[in-house]
Chains A and B, each alone.
Chain A
């Protein structure tokens, strides 16, 4: 039997190329919801395995699980260091180093999540305050707020007091049916709280700004969430309206956007075209067996590190 710490380290390492494969795969566009579940499993599984591996290397072996073993390991190391009053052994130092690194990683992961949530909350609050002063309703877009600006934007501000915002430029740009499709898309975001899906991935990206895989994960999930909202619109409205709205948005390009913020090329090149072609020439959803396989894989990715962490082996 391999030591659990080694298995956890292997899982954490293996998840990285797995995530890269998922990021470049084509099938997620066919079943975005399944792909999002898999992304969440990969993220959670990686966090558990990485923290668990570090803790496992510092843990006391034997009949404890990794989590309790780590606590026992820390306690023993501290006791030894304290009681003997002599120089701690190399083993003790190594053990403490691993435990410290594990604790640091766990703290970092929790902290970035809390910080991201706080930042988002404050940004939304500020945005809502300004909206309450600047935006007004319009009969053309029932349930949405209008900001008088010529650039085309449409977005939603998720939260308990959610808002859908449309710029005057958008109202000029789109026809009635297209506007309705845009509103339906935003309502789908709000109803399904897609912002909460995206939050951990944004937080992870901020925690590891140099990591290509954290960036790709966040991109993939953001696009998948858009596709989910697109699909939701299709239940009640023809795909053409939404596709036309997307095309008009894209074609309006950078005209009339406020200068200053939009330096550099967007990282999201090609996304719009992917969404449009997905709407106009729909691909069949993944078959049931494939979806079942994804569900099993997702469950395993989380369950294996969780089991190793908690169960004594």
Chain B
């Protein structure tokens, strides 16, 4: 997937395999992985002559944002899918906490 993200255009299975030089992967292995990625909707593929061209469905940044939004979206009913350490707070509460943090920091220093 990293190879697809780092590439400018769509890639064939052979090109992806060639870029994974650090690991000696069989052509079919790469093909299977790319096939599974496209079945999961993470990569899209299109015919180009006899070969399939693969491209990522969305950028890496878009997926990171999706993860973060899922983690931070605690408005409305908190999604029970995951448990955050700390919910987001309002700006007013953040100010109060910032003050508490400063006073706590002074106590430690003294």
Contact = CB atoms under 8 A, between A and B. Distances in A.
Interface stretch (B8-16, B20-28, B46-54, B73-81): B73-81
Contact of B85 (A182, A257, A268, A271): A182
The contact size tier of chain B is 35 or more
Contact of B71 (A155, A243, A248, A263): A155
Interface residues of A, number: 66
Interface string A100-144: 000000000000000010011001100101110110000000000
A186 B93 contact: no
Contacts of A250: 86, 89, 93-94, 97-98
A105 B37 CA distance: 42
Contact of B84 (A129, A154, A205, A257): A154
A156 interface: yes
Contacts, number: 163
Contacts of B74: 266, 268
A261 B81 contact: no
Interface string B82-106: 1111111111111011101100100
A218 B78 contact: yes
Interface of A: 116, 119-120, 123-124, 127, 129-131, 133-134, 147-149, 151, 153-158, 165, 167, 182, 185-186, 189, 194-195, 198-199, 202, 205-206, 218, 222, 225, 243-254, 257-258, 260-273, 276
Contacts of B87: 266, 268, 271-272
Contact of B88 (A202, A218, A254, A260): A254
Contacts of B109: none
A261 B72 CA distance: 8
Contacts of A269: 89-90, 92-93
A217 to B, nearest CB: 12
A186 B40 CA distance: 29
14 contacts: A130-B67, A134-B60, A134-B63, A156-B83, A157-B82, A158-B83, A244-B104, A251-B98, A257-B88, A262-B88, A269-B93, A272-B89, A273-B96, A273-B97
